[in-house]
Structure 1
Amino acid sequence: MEFCDECGSMMHGEDGVWVCRSCGFEKARDAGTESAMTTTEGQDTDSGPVDMSEVDDEEIGPTTEVRCPECGHDRARYEMKQIRAADESETRFFTCTECEHKWREDDH
């Protein structure tokens, strides 16, 4: 991967040169440097949907006691993700183990 010396954007290889699609800056490609780079060319980036039909709920992830706003069941799987600024708390995502309803909970 190569980054633009002018604006810092990722550059793309075109006809023997690196081209920045943000600012138009170009620089010559160096075969020696590129041989050490890892590319995604030819890699399978989407292997399709994952079949979870034969996986027990306990193997999918942790559960907690929380009331589903859809069916009122008291158990849900959860995961936490940092989707806002790093100095803010993570967002909790829940999936009801009974009806599969999904919801999220933010700290305000």
Structure 2
Amino acid sequence: MEFCDECGSMMMGEGDVWICKSCGNEQPKGDSASYTTTDAQEESEVIETDAGNSGLPTTSARCPDCGNDRAYWYMQQIRAADESETRFFVCTECEHKWREDDH
């Protein structure tokens, strides 16, 4: 996601440029752009963790697969910006992945 340098509005990705729908400012997409708004959901599915070496924090959470009571966790925004983030867990034993949505 990019924000306009001119007016601060959110920019939309079109081809290899970012375009501000508010003021018309255009900026080339650079290395700082990790994904466009159209593939944000796909990005959330791509996250891979090597849990043992990830450096992620751990918490007390019961794995639904093996019953282990410790898990690595991280948070990611996968829905609209005005909704809360989703917390993802990775079991420290079997590396099963699951998520916890804030209802």
TM-score, with length taken from structure 2: 0.50
- Distance in 2, Cα, partners of 1:58 & 1:88: 30
- Segments of structure 2 that go 5 or more residues without pairing to the other structure are 1-11, 17-27, 32-49
- Distance in 2, Cα, partners of 1:59 & 1:9: 31
- Segments of structure 1 that go 5 or more residues without pairing to the other structure are 1-7, 13-36, 41-51
- Distance in 2, Cα, partners of 1:66 & 1:102: 12
Amino acid at match of 1:94: F
Residues matched between the structures, number = 64
Larger helix fraction of residues: 2
> 1:73-101: CA deviations, max 9, x gaps?
00000110001111111001110001110
TM-score, with length taken from structure 1: 0.48
Amino acid at match of 1:10: E
Q: Secondary structure at the match of 1:57?
A: helix
Q: Secondary structure at the match of 2:90?
A: strand
> 1:8-39: CA deviations, max 9, x gaps?
76356xxxxxxxxxxxxxxxxxxxxxxxx686
Q: Counterparts in 2 of 1:88-99, with a 5 A limit?
A: 88-99=83-94
- Distance in 2, Cα, partners of 1:11 & 1:67: 44
Larger strand fraction of residues: 2
Q: Between Structure 1 and Structure 2, whose CA radius of gyration is higher? A: 1
Percent of aligned positions that are identical: 60
What corresponds to 1:10 in structure 2? 14
What corresponds to 2:68 in structure 1? 73
The ranges of structure 1 where at least 4 consecutive aligned residues each deviate by more than 2 angstroms after the TM superposition are 8-12, 37-40, 56-60
What is the root-mean-square deviation in Å for CA atoms of aligned residues?
3.0
- Distance in 2, Cα, partners of 1:72 & 1:11: 46
Amino acid at match of 1:85: A
- Distance in 1, Cα, partners of 2:79 & 2:61: 23
